[in-house]
Chains A and B, each alone.
Chain A
Amino acid sequence: MHNSNRRGTGDGSAVIEVDGLAKEYRVYDKPEGLLASVRGLFHRTSRLVEALRDVSLSVDRGEFVALLGPNGAGKTTFLKLLSGIITPTRGTARVLGHVPWERADDFRRRFALVMGQRNQLWWDLPAAESFRLHKEIYRIDPARFDRTRDELVDLLGVRRLVLQPVRELSLGERMKLELVAALLHEPEVLFLDEPTIGLDVVAQHTIHDFLREVRSRRRMTVILTTHYMKDVAALCERVVVITHGSILHDGPLEEIVDRFTTHKIVTLDLDATPSLGRIERFGFPCEVDGPRVTLRIDRTRIADVLPEILRSEGVRDVSVEDVPLEEIVAELFRAAAPPEPAGAAR
């Protein structure tokens, strides 16, 4: 087990290489109305939907990559391709040297996929039983199995839950045990599809700490899809933004903030309630609550505007913040114009 490399950035050896990967689905239109339904029995109109279009990407060993994108952008399709559940329409992929959709057992013993709402745990049995089954399926050495299981269970603080039937557990508790089950065979590559969906803040934190710790102890490569920027900020150095099946941005998180942030949020505590006209000179007032004012100020002007505010207004307190990550990403998603409809009706 590796204890170095806390930063967890890649070490230059690619474990995932994807080239021109594309996935098209044929979907059948189901028109409304009885008459149309009867007609549909004889003639169905279909069209091609491009879930993923020519995605190329390389991930090094030890990297922790966040896959962001609006619903239907192709994130889950991408993870399904990398874990071999589906085959692509075009393109190639190698994960740990294997073509994933060939589903070789050698490959399947070296990675894990955790899908937020799907459980690999047996519903009516304690998680310990599912763990035991994983030990056999993945052919884990008994001593090593005990050690790994104890380590994972303690890191998540779920020791007393492993002997309780899974159906009696809360969503957060189940998710933690799912993660333990997925990591028992010490996968080199881990795919996480929305692992914190529906969890409370405490559970989210526990899972963040856990994933950080596990990744630092092993040199595990992780790709995570999420809608929570907290996950991204806590875990990932590298962010890949997918919209409409294509990669829109691929780089460090700071780069996104840098590239897509145009404004700063300045919050002022003034001596008295200001008139709107006065403060509008400085920037766009997002919120005015008595003497407390929140302004959006153009990033390029901030150095000029801030001294002026301090000089001309009675300022008790001031804070300057970046636009929340959520907003930046929402803006990013909106900005990505929808492409031309793919494939004509047949």
Chain B
Amino acid sequence: MNLSAPLDTATPTPGRGVPFAGLRAWWTMLVICLEERLAYRGDFVLGTLMRFLPIVTQVFLWTAVFNATSRPDIAGYSRNDIVAYYLLTMVTRAFSSMPGLSGGIARSVRDGSIKKYLVQPVDYIGSLLAARIAHKLVYYAIALLPFAGVFFLCRGYFPSPPDAVTIAAYMLSLVLSFLLGFFMEATLGMLGFWFLEVSSIIFAYMLVQYLLSGHMFPIDMLAGIPTGIPGTTAADIVRWLPFEYTAYFPAAVWLGKIRGADLARDLAIEAGWVVVMAIACRIAWWRGTRRYSAFGG
């Protein structure tokens, strides 16, 4: 059989040369994901309310810490700063946390539903992003009211609102933290191509991220902790990792801890991490699907 001979390719290929067709497909995906998410609003309401519980214990803990010391601040944070910080990291996490993303990717590899994305002319990562944006938009719509209520009740803990530039930088840092969280956890989920079970890897990641992102305590507090490497503190190491942008960084921006040139530099670094993780995610997808195709599908 001579396979180099051209086969019938005379039939016109549909969809060629349609401007923005990819974008329109993506937009339709987003709208359809929105419709799907709205089917689960009840689940969301409960989930949102539960998020406020841990912060109450944090407030009690830090109140006890400040009562036990005569210092007015710890690592530059007053008692009020600490409460404000925790509330603000909650906002960041509302952007950067991706519940079910890694596990969902790994599951679709295991149960084979990933095949759909190999057969159809559609980009898997793009679809995941559309689904996640829809997920978040519905979440914000529902969470806005309880969030506003809590922030109103706790308004006394906050310093006076920052200037417009800081607010703009804050918004940008939040959007970037969403993208960073998305690409980090999507990449993690792609490990499902190599490992049958990724839930313990995801659990380990969650622990590390909780500790190093500033979700547990402001990472400035690591500044005094030696690492054994001369001239390097734990905070320096954390600075070299992307985690702080998924909780600490936006909160610190709002509280005015990072300003001017430092702010611009850190925003650039955050954007850089987004690009790096997006590329890592794409490479993981390429290699993963190649492995999947070779090993059985």
Interface residues of A (CB under 8 A from B): 13-15, 17, 19, 25-26, 56, 58, 61, 80, 83-87, 92, 94, 96-97, 101, 103, 105-106, 108-110, 112-113, 115, 118, 120, 122, 124-125, 129-130, 132-133, 135-141, 185-186, 188
Task: Determine whether the beta carbon of B24 is less than 8 Å from that of A58.
Answer: no
State whether the Cβ of B171 lies closer than 8 Å to any Cβ in chain A: no
Task: Determine whether the beta carbon of A13 is less than 8 Å from that of B1.
Answer: no
Given contacts A103-B118, A139-B21, contact A125 B296 (CB under 8 A): no
In the complex, what residues of A have CB within 8 A of residue B119's CB?
A: 83-85, 108, 112-113
Task: Determine whether the beta carbon of A19 is less than 8 Å from that of B3.
Answer: yes
List CB contacts (< 8 Å) of B249-297 with chain A. Answer: 290, 292-297
Given contacts A15-B7, A17-B7, A85-B115, contact A139 B297 (CB under 8 A): no
A191 (CB) vs chain B CBs: closest residue: B119
In the complex, what residues of A have CB within 8 A of residue B7's CB?
A: 13-15, 17, 94, 96-97
State whether the Cβ of B69 lies closer than 8 Å to any Cβ in chain A: no
State whether the Cβ of B73 lies closer than 8 Å to any Cβ in chain A: no
Q: Which of A96, A129, A186 sits near B32, CB closer than 8 Å?
A: A129
Given contacts A25-B295, A86-B296, contact A105 B118 (CB under 8 A): no
Task: Give 12 new A-B contacts, CB below 8 A, not counting A86-B294, A96-B7, A139-B15.
Answer: A80-B297, A85-B118, A92-B3, A108-B121, A118-B113, A120-B120, A125-B39, A136-B25, A136-B27, A137-B120, A139-B18, A141-B14
Complex Cα gap A136–B290 (Å): 26
A83 (CB) vs chain B CBs: closest residue: B119
Given contacts A58-B1, A92-B3, A96-B8, contact A101 B32 (CB under 8 A): no
Task: Determine whether the beta carbon of B14 is less than 8 Å from that of A185.
Answer: yes
Tell me the smallest distance from the CB of B194 to a CB of chain A, in Å.
14
Given contacts A25-B296, A86-B294, contact A61 B8 (CB under 8 A): yes
Provide 25 A-B residue pairs closer than 8 Å at the C-beta atoms, listed in order of the A residue.
Answer: A13-B8, A17-B1, A85-B115, A85-B118, A85-B293, A85-B297, A96-B11, A97-B8, A97-B9, A106-B13, A108-B121, A109-B15, A110-B13, A112-B119, A118-B113, A125-B39, A129-B32, A129-B35, A132-B28, A135-B28, A137-B121, A138-B121, A139-B14, A139-B15, A141-B14
Tell me the smallest distance from the CB of A24 to a CB of chain B, in Å.
10
In the complex, what residues of A have CB within 8 A of residue B296's CB?
A: 25, 86
Task: Determine whether the beta carbon of B15 is less than 8 Å from that of A138.
Answer: yes
State whether the Cβ of B29 lies closer than 8 Å to any Cβ in chain A: yes
Q: Which of B18, B35, B121, B295 sits near A125, CB closer than 8 Å?
A: B35
Tell me the smallest distance from the CB of A73 to a CB of chain B, in Å.
16
List CB contacts (< 8 Å) of B24-63 with chain A. Answer: 24-25, 27-29, 32, 35-36, 39
Task: Determine whether the beta carbon of A136 is less than 8 Å from that of B28.
Answer: yes
In the complex, what residues of A have CB within 8 A of residue B1's CB?
A: 17, 19, 56, 58
Tell me the smallest distance from the CB of A318 to a CB of chain B, in Å.
49
State whether the Cβ of B231 lies closer than 8 Å to any Cβ in chain A: no
Given contacts A109-B15, A138-B14, A138-B15, contact A118 B116 (CB under 8 A): yes
State whether the Cβ of B228 lies closer than 8 Å to any Cβ in chain A: no
A135 (CB) vs chain B CBs: closest residue: B28
Tell me the smallest distance from the CB of A151 to a CB of chain B, in Å.
17
Complex Cα gap A229–B6 (Å): 35
Closest 5 CB pairs of A and B: A139-B15, A136-B25, A108-B121, A97-B7, A97-B9
Complex Cα gap A92–B290 (Å): 17
In the complex, what residues of A have CB within 8 A of residue B8's CB?
A: 13-15, 61, 96-97
In the complex, what residues of B have CB within 8 A of residue A108's CB?
A: 119-121
In the complex, what residues of B have CB within 8 A of residue A56's CB?
A: 1
Complex Cα gap A3–B114 (Å): 36
A-contact 0/1 string along B107-123, CB 8 Å cutoff: 00000110110111110
A95 (CB) vs chain B CBs: closest residue: B7
Tell me the smallest distance from the CB of A154 to a CB of chain B, in Å.
22
In the complex, what residues of A have CB within 8 A of residue B25's CB?
A: 133, 136-137, 139
A139 (CB) vs chain B CBs: closest residue: B15
In the complex, what residues of B have CB within 8 A of residue A25's CB?
A: 295-296
Complex Cα gap A17–B296 (Å): 22
Tell me the smallest distance from the CB of B294 to a CB of chain A, in Å.
6
Task: Determine whether the beta carbon of A109 is less than 8 Å from that of B115.
Answer: no
Tell me the smallest distance from the CB of B96 to a CB of chain A, in Å.
26
Complex Cα gap A100–B120 (Å): 12
B6 (CB) vs chain A CBs: closest residue: A97
Complex Cα gap A112–B15 (Å): 16
Complex Cα gap A14–B7 (Å): 7
In the complex, what residues of A have CB within 8 A of residue B290's CB?
A: 87
Complex Cα gap A56–B32 (Å): 42
Complex Cα gap A105–B14 (Å): 10
A14 (CB) vs chain B CBs: closest residue: B7
Complex Cα gap A140–B121 (Å): 12
Task: Determine whether the beta carbon of A110 is less than 8 Å from that of B11.
Answer: yes
Complex Cα gap A4–B44 (Å): 55
A18 (CB) vs chain B CBs: closest residue: B1
Given contacts A122-B36, A129-B35, A136-B21, contact A87 B14 (CB under 8 A): no
Task: Determine whether the beta carbon of B297 is less than 8 Å from that of A86.
Answer: yes
B40 (CB) vs chain A CBs: closest residue: A124
A85 (CB) vs chain B CBs: closest residue: B297
Tell me the smallest distance from the CB of B40 to a CB of chain A, in Å.
8
In the complex, what residues of B have CB within 8 A of residue A84's CB?
A: 118-119
